[in-house]
Amino acid sequence: MSTKNPILESVYETASDLQKLGFINAKRLSEYKELCIDPSMEFSPERIRKIRSQLNVSQVALATFINVSPSAVRKWEQGDKNPSGPAKRILDLLERKGLSVLI
């Protein structure tokens, strides 16, 4: 997870562990995630192409994994549009963890 700082990353990791153990629910974990994720996380066209290349997938496949249209991925890679919200989070996960997080 790309966070504002290491302390917030530790907070989120701890909250994630607590949720896995049943001490907090998924909604509460989501609240921690919103507090800890860096809202300025940007994905440049080059970065998106690099992620896709590292995953060795087509634009269509990446779009399927992220649940967006293939034209959205194409526009991201051309710099016409930028991913937002859930797409950013999934791209971040894919960049850090690979396809194993989705399969």
**CA of 7: how far to CAs of 2, 11, 37, 76, in Å?**
12, 6, 12, 31
Eight-class DSSP state of 30: H
Look at domain 45-101 and name its CATH class: mainly alpha
**Does residue 42 register a pLDDT over 80?**
yes
How far is 88 from 15, CA to CA, in rounded Å?
A: 21
For the stretch 61-86, pLDDT in tens is 999 999 999 999 999 999 999 998 78
What's the CA gap between 103 and 100, in Å, rounded? 5
Between 9 and 95, residue with greater pLDDT = 95
- Tokens standing for 62? 């990446």
Q: Quote the pLDDT of residue 38.
A: 62
pLDDT band at 46 (very low <50, low <70, confident <90, very high): very high
pTM: 0.64
Query: What is the DSSP-derived secondary structure letter of residue 46?
Result: H
Domain ranges of the chain: 6-36, 45-101
Select from 90, 51, 53, 87 the least CA-distant residue to 69: 87
